[in-house]
Amino acid sequence: MNKPFTNKILTWYDVNGRKDLPWKINPSPYSIWISEVMLQQTQVVTVIPYFLKFMDRFPSIDVLARSQLDEVLGYWSGLGYYARARNIYRASRILYLDNKSIFPNSYDEIIKLPGIGRSTAGAILALAYKKKFSILDGNVKRVLSRYYRVKGTLEKASIQKKLWDLSDINTPTKSIAKYTQGIMDLGATICSRSKPKCNLCPLSINCLARIYHEQDLLPSKKLRQKKKKKDINLVVIIDNEKSILLEKRQERGIWGGLYSFPEILDGQTCTSWVKEKLGININRIDKLPPIRHSLTHYDLLIKPNKIKLDSRLPETKNDEQLYWHKVPVDNNIGIAKPISSLINNL
């Protein structure tokens, strides 16, 4: 163990750690699991209200597993990366059916659960069970690659291994939870992506990135793959009683399992889609302003085609993925952010 490194983080955490974050108050393996998954790819400030609402509605594995996935996605709506919510739900079902809704306490069992990788498993074991497991989330990667001046993109297996080794040697046996929280907090609040506050950092004296003025160069940036562009044509149908027609999207693909306005696929037109699904002819379509929305791999251009029905809505023709919903739509279904905004502006 690199004692000075570890001790400095422990001392710094005593004074500066974010001990009032909701998942740090009365933590349980379940609450730590949910918070760790929410915090993957998402900032603390964004996660807090989602975490509080989620825990209020699904306070235990048992409650979560006996809920519907649609509702779980509803509580995740707007947080993005919806595979995380689907995996949490699947994992809760596994624990409910096979483990009496008890969160396991061994690495081998935890790592088998959907959506849990080595770092998340390590965080749960360290924070909830005080076991000596290291972590390597985005914040820890940044601190270690700067402090030790590790060059090379984080996607390379050799760099990953190097960082895991460094994480392992710095992780103490005692005060494991405090150290784990400390290095995560240091990465989030002091050793930030841009403009790290080296003058406030307990590691600054020996930090190689600071000594060589390479804070901005580390961790090495990966070559960004160009995002694909994708147009999404939507049929936005609203009737005279303010009900809208939503489609439950397939599990795989963009916004998997979420509800959206129906998408017109290649070879279809708005008119032909409405005729086929609702059996009516329409004579007016209003093209609403397109919406740009960026996902990890796609730049979307969402093109809404609004159709206003003057009379009560027709029944859908036995298509189980299409549902009428009264506006405002309640949160027992998952809806992606741009679709929610579209609904709110109708």
Binding site for ligand SF4 (CB under 6 A): 143, 146-147, 190-191, 196, 198, 201, 203-204, 207, 209-210, 215
Q: Which residues of 269-307 are buried (b: 16+ CB within 10 A; e: fewer)?
A: ebbebbeebbeeebeeeeeeeebebeeeeeebebebbbb
227 vs 300: CA distance, rounded Å = 10
Shortest Å, Cβ 166 to ligand SF4: 12
Nearer to ligand SF4 among residue 127 and residue 190 (C-beta): 190
Nearer to ligand SF4 among residue 103 and residue 148 (C-beta): 148
- Asked if residue 290 lies in contact with residue 220, where contact means CB atoms within 8 angstroms, the answer is no
Query: What's the farthest any 2 CA atoms get from each other in the chain?
Result: 75
279 vs 271: CA distance, rounded Å = 10
The pair of three-digit structure tokens given for residue 62, joined into one six-digit string:
């048992």
Nearer to ligand SF4 among residue 15 and residue 265 (C-beta): 15
HEC secondary structure over 47-102 = HHHHHHHHHHHCCCHHHHHCCCHHHHHHHHCCCCCCHHHHHHHHHHHHHHHHCCCC
Shortest Å, Cβ 203 to ligand SF4: 4
81 vs 37: CA distance, rounded Å = 10
- 336 by DSSP, 3-state: which? coil
- 143 by DSSP, 3-state: which? helix
Shortest Å, Cβ 183 to ligand SF4: 10
- CB burial of residue 14 (10 Å; 0-12, 13-18, 19+): exposed
Nearer to ligand SF4 among residue 207 and residue 244 (C-beta): 207
Say which amino acid occupies 131: K
- Asked if residue 183 lies in contact with residue 177, where contact means CB atoms within 8 angstroms, the answer is no
Of the candidates 27, 28, 19, 82, which has an alpha carbon nearest to the alpha carbon of residue 50?
82
Shortest Å, Cβ 139 to ligand SF4: 10
Catalytic one among 36, 214, 241, 276?
36
Nearer to ligand SF4 among residue 122 and residue 196 (C-beta): 196
The 10 Å Cβ neighbour count of residue 105 is 13
Shortest Å, Cβ 36 to ligand SF4: 22
Shortest Å, Cβ 176 to ligand SF4: 21
Nearer to ligand SF4 among residue 159 and residue 238 (C-beta): 159
Nearer to ligand SF4 among residue 146 and residue 306 (C-beta): 146
β-bridge partners, 79: none
Shortest Å, Cβ 208 to ligand SF4: 8
For the question of residue 247 being annotated catalytic, the response is: no
Catalytic residue numbers, as ranges: 36
